[in-house]
Structure 1
Amino acid sequence: MGEVLRIRIVPVALLLSLAAPISPSFAAQTRVIDVPRGTVGEVAFALGRQAGINIAIPDATLLGRPAPAVRGKLSDEAAVGQLARAAGLKVRVVGSKSFILTRAPHPAAAVSIAAAPSYDLPSPEPEEIVVTASKRDTTSPRFAGQWTKIDGDDLKGWGIVGSEAIEARSVGFSSTHLGSGRNKLFIRGIADSSFSGPTQSPVGQYMGDMRMGYSGPDPDVRLIDIESVEVLEGPQGTLYGSGSLGGIVQVTPVKPVLGMTAGRASVGISLTTHGDPGFDGSGMFNMPLWEGAAFRAVGYHSAEGGYVDNLATGKSDINRLSVDGGRAMMSADIIPGWSIDVSGLAQRIRGEDSQYADREGHGLSRYSMVPQPFVSRFEMGGVAIRKDGGSLRFRSTTGFTRQRVTENFDASTGDTARQLGQDSRGWSVSNETRVWRPMAQGYSWVAGFSSIVHRYAVARDIREGEHQVDLAGVENRVRESTAYGEIGLRIADGLEASAGARYTISSLSGNGSHLNPLLAASRYGEADREERQFLPSFSLLARPVDKLTLYGRFQQGFRPGGLSIEADFVRTYHNDKLATAELGFRYGISQRHPIDIQGSLTLSKWSDIQADFIDAGGLPSTDNIGDGRVWTLTLNGGAQVSRTLRVEAGVAWNDGKITRPSEAFKLMAAEAEGAMRIPNIARLAARAAIDWSHELGGGHSLTASSYLRYIGRSRLGVGPRLGDAQGDYLDSGISVRLGDDRRAISFTATNLADQLGNRFAFGAPFTSGRDQITPLRPRTFRLGIDAAF
């Protein structure tokens, strides 16, 4: 019981020695609290995690008392007072974020708040942050790996943002830039190709515990009403299975708050230099349904002005983009301690034309004989049953996703206008069920199973006037069944180890359409097959001194094989596998300690790399191109210069090469300089940021944040036909927000230097002799207003 007595792991003696009153400005701050009913110990622990406060309970006999839910938009003092009132306890305030709960001598004293003498001493730091994506509620000092958390509050004022907002806040996270809803994500130098197709993404994406996709591009779901985004770097095969070679991104939405009716609305207008204006609006509404149940809905729309001109048609600002989407969730208590969440999401992204330009043109222009519009649609829904408190916790999540991307590319030759059409469709049904025990009495563990059924099909055609010719198409079907587990052990004071394993059976099948009948029969021999994977993991972690964590870990990841298109037949490609050894450290916790810094050195061995290249017909195709290795070195840190000013900086160095190319790839790339480099990952990336805030009184504050990113050079893809250079540019942005929790006005500016840059050296597979670039969006200003009720 020793650890339970110190909720959020703060000794009572330390709290008493740092006694300080709650300042008026702090007490005025409120936050959404949603803690289900349970015992006093369970509710206090969950409340401490959600609010970032310290709650100590010296008397162990009080921990088992029943306690109701604590829910609503509350200040820290009000939330702790609500718990004390219901449980017949007395609250003593011993710091601006620290409380002690004791037995009340009589009922009237239960809600009294006893404050310490009024003298100004720093409050104790909150307990370490929980890494939700660890699946066993591992606290950050106990997590052996590189981990980034972006709070939802950090995204306020930037408008209706998606994956680019994550990219702006991390040096280890990157993306292609073909267009919103069509991009491919990468983490830590693990990049296979430039295109999204039948191969599984190297980054796993999750909305809560629900998988957002399998094959196909990043759906680029907008990050509205989000609690946090967590990025785990490096392969996560043991806990997350296939498709997590580079890492995972987990988006945690804000859950419905019981017993509260509330809403928020936001609107903004934007002006783009050299382009059209834009508009965005979003709204959130939360309402109680019945005792123990609530509903929350989010809707949004944005229209981003175009900025690329088409010299062939004489049209200006052709690449206007619109996004429409919504999300809803219903949460209800089933029995004490158990809850159910039912959720749904739908989003449509429509681009009136592609965003690339000619390298030798006038910067923001190109010569295209045909328009190149695209539409990306994404829907998902799911049900989660969870038990979040107690020594044993449980979660079972079942979800359905559907994605369709319709694209058009300029395939003109000479004076003949032609258009390549591509229609990609994917759907999946998945379930993950797990039970876990957070660290207590020296050990923690998680055990679970998961399954997924996925189908992904690609169809292509060429259109010339009224004439249309169907090209070869392919459909891949995958069924995966998995069992996994991991255990963490405290070997000695300051020394911990973990070990885990995952066993996956993948059943693969597929078929082609519009194939050459003379070639198709000989290429289907391995279309229907079964693959089995065993993925072990190990880690050792030491905390030799306060705030310092040293660790080493070994982890693996894999992707199953499938079928891909080449010319008018299909080819079989096999599974690939990544094994990573990592050494790293962390000192301090971001926004908890004056200085925090983390770094890692990793070596990844990648076998049978699945990659896309341009085939003889000028279209992307997929094959296994050989074995490779990737070295990665990252260093990130921050300093709390003062109570109101924080600075951050980070750098990442990547060196990836194909060390043992396949015979077919070796012949294809023999004369191409740099063809053996892993594509799309800059050898050097760096980032710096400044966050500043100032309390104005009455709950009002003025905050500002800015960032500067340098993205070094990289290669577009593998093989000689994708050797174009890209990168080597600066990106920047600043946001200023004035207001309180209920009303605020914000101003943002991006690409402050109005750099042209080249984020992605690709726009259409048929270049007609012209090099292509994807410029940064020119300098853009946004003015926004948001209000809550």
Structure 2
Amino acid sequence: MANEGWIMKRNICAALLATISAFAVTPALAQTAGEGGDIVVTALKRETRVQDTPLAITAMSGNTLNNMGAAGIADVARSVPSLNLLASESGRTRVSIRGIQTAGEATVGVYFGEVPLTGPAGTTSDPSGSTPNLNLFDTERLEVLRGPQGTLYGSGSMGGTLRVLFKQANLKDYEGTAEASLETVKSGGTGYSVKGAVNVPIVKDMLAARLAVYRQRTGGFVDDPSIGRYNMNNTVTTGGRLMLGFRPTNNLRINFMGILQDQHTGGTSLWAPSVGLFTSGLRIFTPAIDKQKIFSLDTKWNTPIGTLSLANGYYRWDVRQTNDNTDNYTSVANSYRYCGLFQNTYAGSMLQSGAAGTTTSSSTCASSAGGYSSAQLRANYLDWAKAQMPIGNYQPRWVENLTNELRLSSDGKGRLNYTLGAFFENRKDRVDTTVFAGVAGTGEMRTPVVDLGSRFVRDVINQTAQFGEITYRPIDILSVTAGLRHYHYKKIVGGAYLGYNYFNGQTPMAYTEVNASADGFNQKYNIELKPTRDLMIYATASQGFRPGGANLTPGIPDSAKQYKADSLWNYELGLKTQWFDRKLTFNVDAYRIDWTNMQTSVTATYGNFSYISNVGSARIEGVEAELSGTPTKGLFLNGSLSVVYPRLTADQINSEVTAAGRVGHILTGIPRTTASAGAEYGWAINSDWKGMARADFTYTGKMTTQLNPTNALYRTYGKYAQVNLRAGIENERYGVYLYVRNLLDTNAVSYYSAVSGVADYISTTAPRTIGVNLRGNF
């Protein structure tokens, strides 16, 4: 492993030198500056240019998102260094930055406006498994802050923060935009979108409203002939967004945001290579519904001592999902693991002895009971199990969250600047699970319902925090920043098991609660040296954490019912530069992360249940680079590179758990290398019309499914490239564009599920998709 570490470090250095060399030969630049470094962001809770912000940040304007054809976060993920979305099924994705990725609370703070969104926890206390997928139509900009942002953004931002800022209401001018598109997926279905936005000043310079509405359908390409479903992983998203802006005085502005979005996914996106290309062997119909309601009120008052901000947010996120348990439960039934439980309860009254509840001497029915032989007991159990097939589970779940943040921020112009604030969060969620027998041939739930083991789990978490960052500039070229955040949280997990499940060992349990709480501090230190307007060197040591919690899981010892917060330290050195009168921007950073007390999903000794435990530690080292510029008039180029080396530094062993990971094992689901390159060219056709063409290339490196390479379920995937093209003609009011996604028709594996006794399932990017897009402004 030491040798591998040396090789990895050598590769990081080689990649960095190659990137710098490639950028160094960029020709003399023309008139139009690349927008990336000049975008004004609010990552520090006040306005700064990207190049004046001493942290690793990527910003994309709404114009760039439009030209890329980006409808959601997944469409831009590979264009941002170290940003990774691990897609599973039915639209569920896990977002991570810099390889900080395990089950548990979120590791990336995802903000829409001022509202942080966290997914429902589910039965496994894993809210990070769901990332909100709001449509990016009518967006002002996207900001991705890499590295822990624990001081200003708190828990959930231990890997970084992703912020989507939608266009605010314009108090002065009437505006409107509309667009429509139609596309077809190779070997799949068709898709379309219709979107529109209008801005109306109600009282000029004082009150305005902006309304955006959209409906989008993506074509599916996964079939499941066993239940008569084709192109079933299509997704229909319908939503609306209302922005209100009110400025009663020059010093006071109040912005309201309201978002409603419904997303319906027709079925799983997972398919089994052993069954056929884009063909699923599932026997349960697996639709999913995702509904979100988000409301926020953002008040800003400019005072002589800084801007006083009050951000109030509320959201409700409902998910209804059905999963197929058939293959997994068939494997368990064939092992007879819960045969004894079945005989002791369900089948006890049917034994010839007539003694209800007659027990066997083994959970696997390995010996006789009630006059029956082991073979007869097993056959009895297996016949019953086969009669329930196919089997699915239906999980309606929801999360409701109320957040409030009050802060005071200086204007950034003096030698002393600060951001001080307080934060409060009250989050509640619940999941109900019904394991049911399905109908062969359709995969739908039987009527009346055959309940094979129901349960519910509810969570309540309260968090409070007080935070501050102070920056002092003793001389013009040097700034020093120190930040501190004190947090307190209390989490209550309660639930009940409403019956027996003879496939996973569940037994009835009355409503029970388990509590967890903690206090702690997050720190941040930063030194920024800016000798010229176009050169910045910064060094950062920052801390991140996420709350611990409680497990409500059968078969675990009392000592495993609570798990602690995990935390990390990030050490980072960055360089930001601009050249040729700011026409070329090149930024690079290198970092090391030490992650301790890792929250990890493990399996209970008894039962087929997962729960969270603090086990192992990790070190993640990497380098990130970004380039943007204009080598000739009308041509804009951009590129990015990320190389990461994430490995365990301690065995995954504690007093309750012996998991698979050992020192040196590489963390799972994280591409070791990602890269992107984009080129956009615009030219005049005549006095009214101009042409545009854009190409985007992305590369995703190797990923693995297991920590231990000797594990029978160890798989490698990734290592693919994709190319997207877009071209059209446009003027100030109209535009017509043709586009191709996945030009090379790459069958790229983005998620891999390998489970013992079950066929491997994968999720892949969509095949080549060709479409046309029309836009109009008024």
TM-score range, shorter chain: 0.7 to 0.9
Corresponding residue for 1:265? 178
Cross-structure match for 1:423 = 396
Q: What amino acid is the match of 1:134?
A: L
**Counterpart residue number, 1:640:** 630
Q: Which residue type is aligned with residue 373 of structure 1?
A: P
CA distance in 1, matches of 2:524, 2:149: 9
Residue by residue, what CA displacement relative to the aligned partner does 1:643-695 show, whole Å, maximum 9, x if unpaired? Answer: 2112222221111122223425996444x799943222111111111121113
Instruction: Write out aligned runs for 1:468-487 (5 A).
Output: 468-487=451-470
Q: Give yes or no for the alignment of 1:705 onto 2:619.
A: no
- Please name the residue that 1:405 is paired with: 319
2:96 is matched with 186
Q: How far apart are 1:322 and its partner, in Å?
A: 0.7
Cα distance in 1 for partners of 2:725, 2:761 equals 29
Does the Cα contact within 8 Å between 2:420 and 2:468 map onto a contact in 1?
Answer: yes
Is 2:160 the counterpart of 1:247? yes
Alignment match, 1:452: 425
Alignment map for 1:283-302 (pairs within 5 Å): 283-291=196-204, 292-302=206-216
* Residues 388 and 361 of structure 1, relative CA distance in 2, 3 Å threshold: farther
Q: Which moved more, 1:359-368 or 1:238-247?
A: 359-368
Cα gap change, 1:468 to 1:533, in 2 (>3 Å): same
Cross-structure match for 2:478: 495
- Check 1:741–1:722 CA distance in 2 against 1; reply closer, same or farther (3 A cut): farther
Q: Which residues of structure 1 form unaligned runs of 5+?
A: 1-120, 194-198
2:434 to 461, 471, 485: 461
1:196-235 equivalences in 2 (<5 Å)? 199-213=104-118, 216=127, 217-235=130-148
2:676 to 672, 679, 687: 687
Match of 1:175 among 61, 64, 85: 85
CA distance in 1, matches of 2:604, 2:408: 47
Provide the residue aligned with 2:527 in structure 1. Answer: 540
- Does the 8 Å CA contact 1:338/1:387 hold for their aligned counterparts? yes
Deviates more, 1:243-252 or 1:434-443: 434-443
Q: Deviations over 1:3-38 (max 9, x none)?
A: xxxxxxxxxxxxxxxxxxxxxxxxxxxxxxxxxxxx
Provide the secondary structure at the position in 1 that maps to 2:200.
strand
**CA contact under 8 A between 1:159 and 1:268: conserved in structure 2?**
no
Task: Note the C-alpha offset of 1:188.
Answer: 1.5
Alignment of 1:55-454 (within 5 A): 128-156=38-66, 161-179=71-89, 181-193=91-103, 199-213=104-118, 216=127, 217-291=130-204, 292-387=206-301, 392-413=306-327, 414=330, 416-454=389-427
Question: For residues 487 and 130 of structure 1, what CA distance do their matches in structure 2 show?
Answer: 21
The aligned residue for residue 511 of structure 1 is 494
Q: 1:501 corresponds to which letter in structure 2?
A: L
Give the equivalent residue in structure 2 for 1:18. none
Matched, 1:769 2:683: no
User: How many angstroms apart in 1 are the aligned matches of 2:589 and 2:530?
Assistant: 16
Cα deviation 1:108-165 (Å, max 9, x = unaligned)? xxxxxxxxxxxxx969999954331111323434322111001001122555711112
Tell me what 1:76 maps to.
none
Q: C-alpha distance in 2, partners of 1:741/1:242?
A: 44
Partner AA of 2:715 in structure 1 = D
1:594 counterpart = 2:508: no
Shift of 1:697: 4.4
Where 1:154 maps in the other structure, the secondary structure is helix
Q: Is the 8 A contact 1:471 1:568 kept in 2?
A: no
Alpha-carbon separation, structure 2, partners of 1:411 and 1:607: 34
**Residue 403 of structure 2 contacts residue 424 of structure 2 at CA under 8 Å; is this kept in 1?**
yes
Q: Is the 8 A contact 2:32 2:583 kept in 1?
A: no
Amino acid at match of 1:702: G
1-side partners of 2:542 and 2:256: how far apart? 33
Between 419-428 and 558-567, report the one with greater CA deviation.
Answer: 558-567
Matches of 1:124 and 1:575 in 2, distance apart?
44
Deviations 1:728-785, CA, capped at 9 Å, x for gaps: 21122112232123211122111111011210013xx977521111111000012011
Aligned residues of 2:320 and 2:394 also touching (Cα < 8 A): yes
TM-score by length of 2: 0.79
Matched residue of 1:156: which SS?
A: helix
Q: Is the 8 A contact 1:507 1:530 kept in 2?
A: yes
Determine the C-alpha separation between the residues in 2 that align with 1:602 and 1:664.
Answer: 28
> Which amino acid letter does the alignment assign opposite residue 467 of structure 1?
V
2:346 corresponding residue in structure 1: none
Structure 2 unmatched ranges of 5 or more? 1-29, 121-126, 331-385, 439-448, 501-505
Q: Secondary structure at the match of 2:158?
A: coil
Q: Is the 8 A contact 1:593 1:640 kept in 2?
A: no
SS in 2 for 1:761: strand
- Cα distance change, pair 160–708 in 1 and its aligned pair in 2 (3 A): closer
1-side partners of 2:496 and 2:161: how far apart?
A: 33
User: Could you tell me which of 639, 661, 686 is aligned with 1:649?
Assistant: 639
What is the SS of the residue equivalent to 2:75? helix
Matches within 5 A, 1:526-565: 527-565=514-552
Query: How far apart, CA to CA, are the structure 1 residues paired with 2:320 and 2:581?
Result: 46
- Distance, in Å, in 1 between the alignment partners of 2:261 and 2:165 is 17
> CA contact under 8 A between 2:684 and 2:691: conserved in structure 1?
yes
C-alpha RMSD of matched pairs (Å): 2.9
Displacement after TM superposition at 1:469 (Å): 2.8
Shift of 1:515: 7.0
> Which residue of 2 is the match for residue 32 of structure 1?
none
What secondary structure, in the 3-state scheme, does the structure 1 residue paired with 2:737 have? Answer: strand
CA contact (8 A) 1:497 1:541 kept: yes
Using the alignment, how far apart are the partners of 1:685 and 1:125 within structure 2? 22
Structure-2 change in CA distance of 1:366 and 1:259 (3 Å): same
Q: Distance in 2 between matches of 1:287 and 1:588?
A: 39
**In the TM superposition, what are the counterparts of 1:18-57 in structure 2 within 5 Å?**
none
Structure with more relative contact order (C-alpha pairs < 8 Å, separation 6 or more): 2
Change (3 A) 1:242 1:717: farther
Per-residue CA deviation, residues 542-578 of structure 1 (Å, 9 max, x unaligned), is: 1234512111001111111112454577932221112
**What's 1:677 paired with?**
666
Q: In structure 2, which of residues 631, 646, 649 is the aligned counterpart of residue 659 of structure 1?
A: 649
Contact residue 110 and residue 118 of structure 2 kept, 8 A: yes
- TM-score between the two structures when normalised by the length of structure 1: 0.78
Letter in 2 for 1:419: G
SS in 1 for 2:484: strand
Distance 2:289 2:757 in 1: 25
Shift of 1:283: 0.9
Residues 162 and 124 (structure 1), Cα distance of their counterparts in 2 relative to 1, 3 Å cut: closer
Partner of 2:740: 749
- Tell me which residue corresponds to 2:123: none
CA distance in 2, matches of 1:135, 1:205: 15
Instruction: Please say if residues 691 and 705 of structure 1, whose CA atoms lie closer than 8 Å, have aligned partners that are also in contact.
Output: yes
Q: Distance in 1 between matches of 2:247 and 2:722?
A: 46
For 1:774, what is the secondary structure of its paired residue?
strand
Pick one of 595, 600, 623 that aligns with 1:611. Answer: 600
Contact 1:658 1:678 in 2 (8 A): yes
> What letter matches 2:565 in structure 1?
N
Q: CA deviation at 1:786?
A: 1.3
